[in-house]
Amino acid sequence: MTEKHSPQLTEQEMLESILADGSPKAKELTKHYLKLLHDWDNSEARSGVEHFMHTSTYWEDEETLCASIPIHPGLHNTHGIVHGGILTTIMDNSMGVLLTELSPVPGDILTIDIHVQFIAAGTGKELTCKASPITVGRRISYAEAAVYDEENRLVAKADGTFYLKQAARS
């Protein structure tokens, strides 16, 4: 596969070229990503991943963290559905945030292992991930997550093993 390379353009020239001559999809994505970058410094997202995916999180109950993401073409694979890597990322991130909040000791949650099953195509305008703990330990924790579409149909599910890197003692 041969890639097309553009001549060396400045960022301003690339932006002007896309907005003037780009496809409707390129224009839509450019505007979406520009808004994300513009809002970066005021974001309440916990990570760049949450900001990039424009994730909104809330607690359904004391042990269920929900994370919703709006769907846009930048998240699609070549088949026009949400890429499996995006589904995996929202489940991994949701389980990590959940376990960070529920951890009995402060520290960083790091993924050791994640097992994902893709059930149906991720389509529509929004997907919601629900993450729940299986076991919360002082070093190793386990969680599960599932992604649903707007009709509450199961799109993907995962379970993961996570390591708690405890905060340094002062």
- Poorest-pLDDT segment among 44-48, 60-64, 151-155: 44-48
**CA gap 47, 127 in Å, rounded:** 19
- Its pTM surpasses 0.85: no
Give the domain range for residue 21. Answer: 6-42
Q: Are 111 and 28 in the same domain?
A: no
Q: Are β-strands 107-118 and 64-70 bridged in parallel, bridged antiparallel, or unpaired?
A: unpaired
Mean pLDDT of the chain: 87
Note whether 70 and 146 are same-domain residues: yes
Task: Assign residue 101 the CATH number of its domain.
Answer: 3.10.129.10
Query: Which phi and psi (to 5°) does residue 98 adopt?
Result: -55, -50
Residue 27 lies in a domain: yes
**pLDDT for position 95:** 96
Query: In terms of domains, do 11 and 68 share one?
Result: no
Residue of higher predicted confidence among 115 and 104: 115
Q: Confirm whether 1 is domain-assigned.
A: no
Number of domains composing the chain? 2
Q: Compute the average pLDDT of residues 13-40.
A: 79
- What pLDDT is attached to residue 45? 64
